[in-house]
């Protein structure tokens, strides 16, 4: 029985396998619409995240399966003080697979020690969100044709952005990757990732404060939100926030086949005018996320394809 | 108990001076019935001063705890008055229920009955991280 707690729980070849299944689902959706008939996915959302929950539920429904669960802790037994271990042991009696979101870091790992069905981490606090990374990876595969030979710009909050950390972990396993880290000093990538992942894998990288200058070399630009509450003072926030807003003007020198990504929801870090540009991939990314969740459910339920 | 000679038991030697009480607590030696001697600030050629703990019984001790606190500690196992094994320690790959995570956002801060697990993440610096939230363990 498999669990997905951290993106690195999946090997490079398993990610390849999942993207192939996802691509096949995109091409032949009708082939998959009964694959999970009579199977149940439980979405246990101890904190609300409507888009992630809907993505999982849509994924299971498109496979012909059913969905049970709850969307916030106060409608669940957790509000009465039940442990996550007890909750998943109970839910495992009804469901075949569990997607779990929890505000505490490591809750899905704790759950996986006790559960008798596969656990998928659908986000644990500020820690991991591996199915977002699966969405990111399929986007890269579909838009760029593969994972090798890419210059990847990561922009915005690189300090707290868990999606950025996971993506770096995942992409560090491919050939001829280069990272460009674009952030204010205050929000730069933590050392344990810079040294522990990027340098350890001998991946070339540069750090810059200047998005406009950096953008011209990139194959992928991964935008994240620069949150006000991350700054010590308002003045710094106001001084810096506009430098990390992507506009058509800032894209002027970018490659024609640049792929602009964002884990969404965005606030103002990508100007709406960019949405019409062919390089904007963030809404496709949402769709790809659903297909990867479908592929993951099929794999973990060991459904024959 | 004659602290110089043990017939059957364990001598934990080369403890950095001042660390013996912490080891006493982490190994839960207060739960033992046998005699236990803590020798503080003993003379050491190698270390200047050192602490030693002598346990006058053949008990199971958690070598991972010792390795975590100080991999330079040596453990001598004595049987019938003879030194039968001199064990050198190393940093354990995993620590279970030895230390607890200090991150208030970690599941271990609320979940009852959970195992507190830390993994060695950087061997060269002896850095341990919580298996759940990856927060660094505070250095000893
Ligand atoms: Zn922790």
ipTM of the complex: 0.90
A12-71 pLDDT, tens digit each: 999 999 999 999 999 999 999 999 999 999 999 999 999 999 999 999 999 999 999 999
Distance A272 CA to ligand 1 centre (A): 39
**Mean pLDDT score, A144-153:** 98
Name every chain B residue with its beta carbon within 8 A of the beta carbon of A196.
121-122
The Cα A55–Cα A287 span in angstroms is 8
Domain assignment present for A178:
yes
Q: Considering the domain boundaries, does residue B4 fall inside one?
A: no
Which residue range(s) make up the domain with B117? Answer: 94-138
**Per-residue model confidence as pLDDT tens digits over A65-124:** 999 999 988 866 666 778 999 999 999 999 999 999 999 999 999 999 999 999 999 999
In a domain, B34, yes or no: yes
Contact residues, chain B, for A124 at CB < 8 Å: 107
- What's the first-to-final CA gap in chain B, in angstroms? 31
> pLDDT band for position B3 (50/70/90)?
low
Q: How far apart are CA A32 and CA A142, in angstroms?
A: 20
| Mean of pLDDT over chain A | 94
CATH of residue A68: 3.40.50.1370
Q: Does A125 touch chain B (CB under 8 A)?
A: yes
Candidate from A172-181, B16-25, B83-92, B131-140 with smallest mean pLDDT: B131-140
Q: Give the pLDDT confidence score for residue A74 in this predicted structure.
A: 80
Q: Kindly state whether residues B34 and B61 are assigned to the same domain.
A: yes
The span from the CA of A233 to the CA of A255, in Å, is: 36
User: Closest approach of chain B CAs to the CA of A18, in angstroms?
Assistant: 25
Max intra-chain CA distance, chain B = 51
pLDDT for A228: 77
Verdict on whether the full-model pTM lies above 0.80 = yes
- State the DSSP code for A190: P
pLDDT of the residue at A34: 98
Q: What are the tens digits of pLDDT across the range A266-294?
A: 988 999 999 999 999 999 999 999 999 99
Note if A139 is an active site residue.
Answer: no
For the segment B120-139, the average pLDDT, to the nearest whole number, is 90
* Residues in A touching B114 (Cβ below 8 Å): 83, 85, 110
What is the DSSP code (8-state) at residue A149?
A: S
Asked if the structure places residue B77 within a domain, the reply is yes
Assess if residue B3 is contained within a domain.
no
The Cα of A194 is separated from the nearest Cα of chain B by a number of Å equal to 14
A109: chain B residues, CB-CB within 8 Å: 107, 131-132
A104 with A178, same domain? no
Do residues A149 and A277 both lie within one domain?
yes
Is A106's CB within 8 Å of B112's CB?
no
DSSP per-residue string spanning chain B? --SS--SSEEEEEEEETT-HHHHHHHTTGGG-SS-EEEEEEEEETTTEEEEEEEESS-----HHHHHHH-TT-EEEEEETTEEEEEEE----SEEESSS----TTBGGGT-TT---EEEEEETTTTEEEETTT-PBPPP-
pLDDT at position B111: 95
Strand partners, A123: none
Q: Is B109 close to A104, i.e. CB distance below 8 A?
A: yes
What is residue A232's predicted lDDT score, i.e. its pLDDT? 74
Find the helix or strand (DSSP H, E) in which A92 lies. Answer: none
Active-site entry in A129, A250, A262, A293? A129
What is the span of the domain harbouring residue A26?
7-128+289-300
Interface residue A77 vs chain B (CB under 8 A): no
Q: How many CB atoms are located within 10 Å of the residue A138 CB?
A: 25
Q: Render the burial of B68-95: b for 16+ CB within 10 Å, e for the rest.
A: bbbeebebbbbeeeeeeeeeebebbeeb
């Amino acid at each position: 029985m498999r669990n997905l707690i951290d993106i690195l729980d999946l090997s490079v070849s398993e990610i390849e396998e999942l993207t192939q299944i996802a691509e096949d689902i995109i091409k032949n959706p009708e082939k998959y619409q009964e694959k999970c008939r009579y199977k149940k996915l439980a979405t246990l959302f101890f904190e609300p995240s409507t888009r992630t929950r809907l993505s999982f539920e849509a994924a299971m429904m498109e496979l012909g399966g059913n969905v049970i669960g709850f969307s916030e802790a106060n409608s669940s037994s957790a509000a009465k003080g039940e442990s996550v271990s007890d909750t998943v042991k109970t839910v495992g009696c009804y469901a075949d697979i569990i997607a779990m979101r929890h505000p505490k870091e490591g809750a899905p790992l704790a759950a996986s020690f006790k559960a008798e069905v596969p656990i998928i981490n659908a986000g644990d606090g500020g820690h991991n969100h591996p199915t977002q990374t699966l969405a990111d990876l399929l986007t890269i595969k579909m838009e760029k044709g593969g994972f090798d030979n890419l210059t990847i710009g990561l922009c915005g909050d690189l300090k707290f952005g868990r999606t950025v950390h996971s993506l770096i972990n995942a992409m560090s396993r491919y050939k001829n990757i280069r990272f460009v880290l674009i952030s204010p000093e205050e929000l730069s990538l933590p050392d344990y990732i810079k040294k522990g992942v990027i340098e350890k894998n001998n991946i070339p990288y540069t750090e810059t404060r200047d998005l406009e200058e950096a953008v011209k070399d990139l194959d992928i630009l991964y935008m994240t939100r620069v949150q006000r509450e991350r700054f010590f003072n308002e003045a710094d926030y106001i001084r810096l926030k506009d430098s990390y807003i992507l506009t058509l003007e800032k894209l002027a020198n970018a490659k024609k086949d640049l792929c602009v990504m964002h884990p969404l929801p965005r606030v103002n870090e990508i100007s709406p005018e960019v949405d019409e540009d062919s390089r904007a991939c963030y809404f496709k990314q949402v769709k790809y996320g659903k297909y990867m969740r479908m592929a993951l459910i099929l794999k973990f339920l060991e459904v024959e394809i | 108990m004659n602290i110089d000679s043990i017939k059957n038991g364990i001598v934990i030697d080369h403890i950095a001076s001042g660390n013996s009480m912490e080891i006493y607590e982490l190994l839960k030696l207060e739960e033992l019935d046998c005699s236990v001697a803590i020798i503080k600030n003993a003379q050491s050629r190698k270390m200047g001063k050192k602490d030693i703990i002598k346990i006058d019984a053949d008990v199971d001790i958690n070598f991972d705890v010792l390795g975590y606190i100080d991999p330079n500690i040596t453990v001598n196992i004595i049987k019938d008055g003879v030194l039968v094994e001199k064990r050198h320690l190393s940093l354990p790959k995993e620590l279970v229920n030895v230390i607890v995570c200090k991150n208030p956002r970690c599941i271990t801060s609320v979940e009852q009955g959970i195992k507190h697990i830390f993994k060695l993440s950087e061997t060269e610096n002896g850095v341990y991280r919580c298996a759940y939230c990856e927060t660094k363990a505070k250095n000893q």
